[in-house]
């Protein structure tokens, strides 16, 4: 009986050591998975995504921490799967958020391009309007110049017509003066023939007008 007592002590120590080793292993699995979860939860890019999946992983870790030895393998598996699922969901949401952000950035760039194109179109319209205005002003100036040239041409034609009329009038006056001179000469010759005097040389009409009063007194000698 005294020999059996040390054996029992040895078995108790061995069982206690085994229990301590099992507890250490249990803590190692929990701490390993807890570190994985904490790394995901504190990730700046992923920690704020997939809150439901994150809660499920956190719950699995809580069950693992309190699990009995017969349930540990199940909850180790469940915690690992739920942490993996939470990471996948968070990465998917992050990628979707990046896609949405890129889409918004693309929309912003498209809006900026549309505004730039619209501004260029307005500038081109204004340039065309100014060119049309300049062409209209040039056409109006050309019309005015043509009108001025037409008026100047009409004035020149009128001046030419006046000059022609004056020349024609001068020609008629010259013809009338020549005829008057011829008639004056003929009259002088007839008066000279009637008075028995030699005909005097014909003079210009203005000289003839001065000589006429001298020839008139001879008329009464014809009645004698």
**pLDDT, tens digit, 9 for 90 and up, residues 138-168:** 999 999 999 998 888 888 888 888 888 888 8
pLDDT in tens, 91-107: 999 999 999 999 999 99
More confident residue, 25 or 103: 103
How far, in Å, CA of 175 to CA of 177, rounded? 5
Tell me what pLDDT residue 153 has. 86
34: CB partners within 8 A, 6+ apart: 61
DSSP state of 203: -
pLDDT surpasses 80 at 84: yes
Q: Where are the domains of the chain?
A: 4-111
Residue 224 has, within 13 A of its CA and on its CB side, a CA count of 7
How far, in Å, CA of 91 to CA of 97, rounded? 10
pTM score of the predicted model: 0.46
């Amino acid at each position: 009986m005294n020999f059996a007592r040390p054996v029992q002590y040895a078995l108790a120590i061995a069982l206690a050591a085994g229990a301590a080793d099992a507890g250490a292993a249990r803590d190692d699995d929990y701490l390993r998975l807890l570190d994985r979860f904490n790394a995901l939860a504190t990730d700046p890019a992923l920690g704020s995504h997939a809150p439901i999946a994150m809660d499920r992983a956190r719950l699995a870790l809580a069950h693992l921490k309190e699990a009995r030895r017969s349930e540990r393998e199940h909850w180790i598996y469940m915690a690992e799967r739920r942490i993996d699922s939470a990471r996948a969901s968070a990465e998917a949401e992050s990628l979707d958020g990046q896609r949405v952000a890129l889409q918004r950035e693309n929309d912003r760039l498209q809006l900026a391009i549309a505004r730039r194109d619209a501004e260029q179109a307005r500038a081109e319209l204004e340039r065309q309007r100014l060119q049309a205005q300049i062409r209209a002003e040039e056409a109006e100036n050309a019309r005015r110049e043509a009108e001025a040239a037409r008026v100047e041409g009409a004035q020149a034609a009128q001046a030419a017509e006046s000059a022609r009329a004056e020349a024609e009038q001068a020609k008629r006056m010259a013809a009338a003066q020549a005829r008057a001179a011829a008639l004056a000469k003929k009259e002088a010759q007839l008066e000279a023939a009637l008075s028995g005097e030699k005909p005097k040389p014909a003079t210009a009409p203005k000289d003839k007008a001065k000589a006429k009063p001298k020839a008139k007194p001879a008329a009464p000698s014809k009645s004698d």
